[in-house]
Amino acid sequence: MPDTGDIEPEIIHHDAELLIVHKPPGLPTTAPTSTEQCLAHWVRDRFPDLQAHATSRLDSQVSGLVTFALTRDANRHLLDARRAGAYHRLYIGITLREVSPDQGEWSWPISIDPRNPKRRLAGPGRGEREALTRYEVAARTPEATLLRLRPETGRTHQLRVHAAEAGAPLFGDPLYQGERRKVLPDGSVVTARRVMLHCARVSFPSSALAQRIDCEAPVRPDMSQVWQALGGARSDLQP
């Protein structure tokens, strides 16, 4: 599989209040220092006159859409939309396991792993917060399952933790029991060089107009290649 670290972010939507960017895998959304490479600094360098605030964060290994608020009013509007359940996100993920039933929800609370503060656990514990993920099976092959995941809450590592707790860890996610390699019946090997998870769509009400902002981003080539190598069709990956 190709190295995805040098793929440039892509601007999907830009108006006076919002900037929505398609983040490549391998690039953090934010960084603790001003010199470290991250999506927020990429935005800052290209739009030095904007005060862009990332309203959501994707893990470094996860690709897809990140929304930046450009004004305080826009940031407040997005927070209100989240509280009202009007801010929707759709993720696409790959697992090597069977998932049954074909649709449902995962509602385990998420807490901090006492042995590793960068890791999360499904269940009660320190920093416990309610979490809800709705899932549906989008496609199956003899080797893997393609999932559509809709987080109703926004907890750290939520989708990764919930999938692992459901017995369907995401391909390429060893932090949460996911395999990195799959040997196919013909002896060929499929390798996931990062977590096979992608934020494919965001949708929320516009603050300026009586309509919704609805943006999509296609799955990155590395993830498409992995799914096809596992026997899936490219068309399965449509949001």
Ordered structural domains, the chain, with CATH: 10-233 (3.30.2350.10)
> One-letter amino acid identity for 190?
V
Q: Is residue 204 classed exposed, middle or buried when 0-12, 13-18 and 19+ CB atoms within 10 A define those classes?
A: buried
- Model pTM? 0.94
Specify the pLDDT at position 1. Answer: 33
Q: Is 6 a catalytic residue?
A: no
Is 160 or 83 the better-scoring residue by pLDDT?
160
Quick one: average pLDDT of 36-61? 94
* CA torsion, ordered 156, 169, 220, 29, to nearest 10 deg: 20
- Among 89, 78, 81, residue whose Cα is nearest residue 17: 78
Q: What is the pLDDT of residues 169-198, one digit of tens each?
A: 999 999 999 999 999 999 999 999 999 999
Specify the pLDDT at position 193. Answer: 96
User: Of the listed 3, 45, 59, 102, which one is catalytic?
Assistant: 59
Specify the pLDDT at position 5. Answer: 47
Mean pLDDT rounded to a whole number for the chain: 94
Specify the pLDDT at position 207. Answer: 75
Both tokens of 137, joined, read: 């099976």
- Asked if residue 109 lies in contact with residue 120, where contact means CB atoms within 8 angstroms, the answer is no
